[in-house]
Each structure stands twice: as structure tokens, then as C-alpha cells.
């Protein structure tokens, strides 16, 4: 069973982030400034041994790969940021390509969203996402080609596997993917295997997923959708509006100090979410199961954040053991996409911290052992 963990590269400085968010910005800034929003809220999260690493240090990527492999992670899926020829946060992936000591399979997920100030509740676009035409598509493919040719790159059906985060926002989607496929064949491959990640594509009434072999059930967002359908956004909006009224007229900050509805409307049960994951019936043969270790994006979004409460490594091991079994027996797949290796500011990380040390990694390994899937 191939457990493939999504990998965030935003742990080093870039000029753009320094301009947009302040000098010295990396994901660690969000992690360190986090505050508990209610009694028992475990923030900030602290990496074990204060390992606030810099991903421009080759030794860190070597350490990550060795650690992942030791505990049964098959590979990383690197988020890749390409804006019509403009690259952001590209150095960790480029450095990995050059450094064969980073001995772990990998694939690429094009995180094809515009960057905005949504983290702080603003709509300002920092860098737009435009797709261009065949010339721009070829430039993008040519950039990715050395990665596809690397011996560590993950193949499926003898083709490089590439994930598109949000296909529903690409107006030239099919034309672009067809052209990339042509270019891959010209480069000596049998083509490309496409997968998509975002649930919004599934929700389109006119969705055309004919170019995609796989639909990754990105968790816990699929579970959240199954739990709340359209009601969750309504409840969050109602909470914000009522809390704003009370604060304005009575001076009471219900969002921070309230109880009941005002504290719990942005909290979701970890157990309930996993219950939905483990009872989900795949929509089609394209579905690939997902898994998540935790979710708490309040370090990024503050009181507007969403928190899955009640997670423990022990629970995670039980749920992950069942999901590995379901991947084989229900989905008939040999891979699970894991949220995540190092999404520290969203609570989705397997790297050791002071809270659980290595226990979440041990849960991954034990879930594979329990299903006779470790070692491969």
C-alpha cells in the first residue's frame, strides 16, 4: 500500500512573501503566533526539539525522506506553484531533484489557485492564476519534464502521475491536458496519468472528468461535505453575524469567550469525520481514498478557523488501519493520499512534535503492519 503524503514547501523565505506578509515570513510565523481560542485548545503546536527548519537546508530534506520511509510513508506529493511562468516556493522541489540523497518517491500536485489575502479575511489578489495557450502550456510541461524523468518519480500505468488541485477553475482544462499528454508521448512516455484533488470539481453539475484516471478524496474536506452538505457555511455565517451584533451592542466577545454554539460552530468531531470517511461509498472506480491525521487551521485564520477536535494518535491508528483495509477491499486501490506530511499551520502534519512525538508516524507504520502491508 502506497501512503503518499502531501508536502508543503512554504518553510523558507521568498521575496514575495516578505513583501506580502512581512520580513522573514515562512509557515513557521503562523505556527508560532497561534493562540488557544477556547479552554483545552492545544495551540501553538511546537515541533520536537524546536525543529523550526529551513527547507533550503538539504539536510532537512534528507532527514524528512529517511523519517518518512522508516515509518512507512511511500512518497511525497509536492505542492507546486506555477503562475503562467512565474514560480513560487520552487526551491525545495528543485533542490530535491538535484539531491539523490533525498531517497523517497515523489509526484507533483499543481496548486493552481491565485494567491490572495484570504488568511486574514481579505479578498485582495496577490498573484493571479492565468493559463494562457499552447506556448504557456509547453513552458509549464518543459519545467516539469526533468521531474518526470527522475528515477524517483511516481508512475501509474507506466505514466508519470500528476495531480491537479482545482481543475474546475481551468477554462482550458481538457485542451491543456490533451496537449500535455501529446508532449509526454513526444518525450518518450506513454502519456500522463491525471488525478484531481478538490471536491469542488465533483460538485460541478457539468463536470467533465474524462481526462482523469483518479479522483483523490482529499480528507477531511470530503468528510466535512458529507457531514454538513450546505448547512455548514450557513451556520458559520450565522455564528459570525450574531457574535458581531453582541460584541457591538454589549461588548462581549462571544467568538473568543463564548460557550455552546459560539465556541462549537467552528469545531467538528474528529471521530464523526472519520466515521464518515470509513462509511463512504466510492462514487466511481476513479476514487482514491484519503486520510488525515488532524486539522486545525486557526494558526492561519484565527477565530475564523476550523478545528477537528478529539484527535489522538491512538484513534488515528485505529482509523488508519481500517482505511488501509478499505483501500484494498472497497476501493480496490494500492494507494492512499495522506493529509499531510508538514501542514503545520493547518494541524495536518506527521512530523514529530512535543504533543505526540513520533506516535502519529508509529500509527502509520502500525496500520500498514496490521494489514500485512509493511514493508512493501
Please classify residue 13 by burial: count the beta carbons closer than 10 Å to its beta carbon, then call 0-12 exposed, 13-18 middle and 19+ buried.
middle
Phi, psi of 126 (to 5 degrees): -85, -40
Would 317 be classed as within a structural domain? Answer: yes
* Element housing 214 (H / E): strand 214-216
Q: What pLDDT is recorded for position 263?
A: 47
At residue 196, what are phi and psi to the nearest 5 degrees? -125, 160
Describe the crossing of helices 231-250 and 221-228 by its angle, rounded to 10 degrees. Answer: 80
How would you write 139-162 as a 3-class SS string? HHHHHHHHHHHCCCECEECCEEEE
Backbone angles phi, psi at 235, to 5 degrees: -65, -40
Kind plus residue range of the DSSP H or E element containing 240: helix 231-250
- Domain of residue 16, residue span: 2-227+269-370
Report if residue 56 sits inside a domain. yes
How many domains does the chain divide into?
A: 1
Domain annotation covers residue 241: no
> Are 194 and 164 within 8 A, CB to CB?
yes
Grid cell digits, residue 215: 479522483
Within a domain: 237? no
Q: How far apart are CA 78 and CA 138, in angstroms?
A: 20
Give 172's strand partners.
none
User: How far apart are the C-alpha atoms of 221 and 217, rounded to whole Å?
Assistant: 8
Residue-level pLDDT, tens digit, the chain, 376 residues: 999 999 999 999 999 999 999 999 999 999 999 999 999 999 999 999 999 999 999 999 999 999 999 999 999 999 999 999 999 999 999 999 999 999 999 999 999 999 998 777 777 899 999 999 999 999 999 999 999 999 999 999 999 999 999 999 999 999 999 999 999 999 999 999 999 999 999 988 889 999 999 999 999 999 998 888 655 554 555 556 666 666 666 666 555 544 444 444 489 999 999 999 999 999 999 999 999 999 999 999 998 899 999 999 999 999 999 999 999 999 999 999 999 999 999 999 999 999 999 999 999 999 999 999 987 6
Q: Are 315 and 274 in contact (CB under 8 A)?
A: yes
The CATH number for 220's domain is 3.20.20.80
In a domain, 249, yes or no: no
**Does residue 295 fall inside a structural domain?**
yes
- DSSP type of residue 281: P
178 within a domain of the structure (yes/no): yes
**Burial grade of 208 (CB within 10 A; 0-12, 13-18, 19 or more):** exposed
Q: Are 211 and 177 in contact (CB under 8 A)?
A: yes
Cα distance between the two ends of the chain: 7
Q: Is the pTM of this model over 0.85?
A: yes
Give a yes or no: residue 192 inside a domain: yes
Give the torsion sign (CA, 329, 331, 335, 338): negative
Amino acid at each position: 500500500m502506497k501512503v503518499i503524503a502531501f508536502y508543503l514547501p512554504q518553510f523558507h523565505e521568498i521575496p514575495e512573501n516578505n513583501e506580502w506578509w512581512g520580513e522573514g515570513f515562512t509557515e513557521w510565523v503562523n505556527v508560532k503566533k497561534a493562540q488557544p481560542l477556547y479552554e483545552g485548545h492545544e495551540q501553538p503546536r511546537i515541533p520536537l526539539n524546536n525543529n523550526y527548519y529551513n527547507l533550503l537546508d538539504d539536510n532537512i530534506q534528507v532527514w524528512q525522506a529517511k523519517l518518512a520511509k522508516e515509518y512507512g510513508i511511500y512518497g511525497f506529493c509536492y505542492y507546486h506553484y506555477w503562475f503562467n511562468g512565474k514560480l513560487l516556493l520552487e526551491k525545495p522541489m528543485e533542490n530535491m531533484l538535484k539531491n539523490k540523497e533525498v531517497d523517497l518517491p515523489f509526484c507533483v500536485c499543481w496548486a493552481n489557485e491565485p494567491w490572495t489575502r484570504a488568511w486574514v479575511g481579505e479578498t485582495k489578489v496577490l498573484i493571479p492564476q492565468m493559463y494562457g495557450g499552447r506556448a504557456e502550456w509547453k513552458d509549464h510541461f518543459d519545467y516539469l519534464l526533468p521531474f518526470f524523468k527522475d528515477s524517483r518519480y511516481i508512475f501509474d500505468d507506466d505514466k508519470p502521475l500528476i495531480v491537479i488541485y482545482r481543475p474546475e477553475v481551468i477554462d482550458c482544462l481538457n485542451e491543456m491536458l490533451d496537449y500535455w499528454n501529446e508532449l509526454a508521448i513526444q518525450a518518450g512516455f506513454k502519456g500522463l496519468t491525471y488525478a484531481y484533488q478538490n471536491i469542488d470539481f465533483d460538485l460541478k453539475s457539468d463536470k467533465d472528468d474524462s481526462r482523469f484516471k483518479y479522483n483523490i478524496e482529499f480528507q477531511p474536506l470530503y468528510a466535512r461535505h458529507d457531514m454538513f452538505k450546505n448547512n455548514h457555511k450557513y451556520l458559520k455565517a450565522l455564528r459570525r453575524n450574531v457574535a458581531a451584533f453582541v460584541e457591538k451592542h454589549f461588548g462581549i466577545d462571544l467568538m473568543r469567550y463564548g460557550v455552546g454554539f459560539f465556541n462549537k460552530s467552528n469545531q467538528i468531531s474528529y471521530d464523526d469525520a472519520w466515521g464518515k470517511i470509513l462509511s463512504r461509498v466510492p462514487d466511481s472506480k476513479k476514487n482514491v481514498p484519503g486520510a488525515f491525521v488532524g486539522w486545525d487551521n486557526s494558526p492561519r485564520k484565527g477565530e475564523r478557523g476550523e478545528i477537528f477536535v478529539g484527535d489522538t494518535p491512538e484513534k488515528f491508528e485505529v482509523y488508519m488501519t481500517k482505511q488501509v483495509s478499505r483501500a484494498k477491499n472497497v476501493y480496490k486501490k494500492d494507494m492512499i493520499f495522506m493529509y499531510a506530511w508538514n501542514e503545520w499551520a493547518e494541524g495536518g502534519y506527521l512530523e514529530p512534535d512535543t504533543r505526540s512525538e513520533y506516535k502519529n508516524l508509529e500509527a502509520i507504520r502500525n496500520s500498514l503492519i496490521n494489514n500485512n502491508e509493511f514493508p512493501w
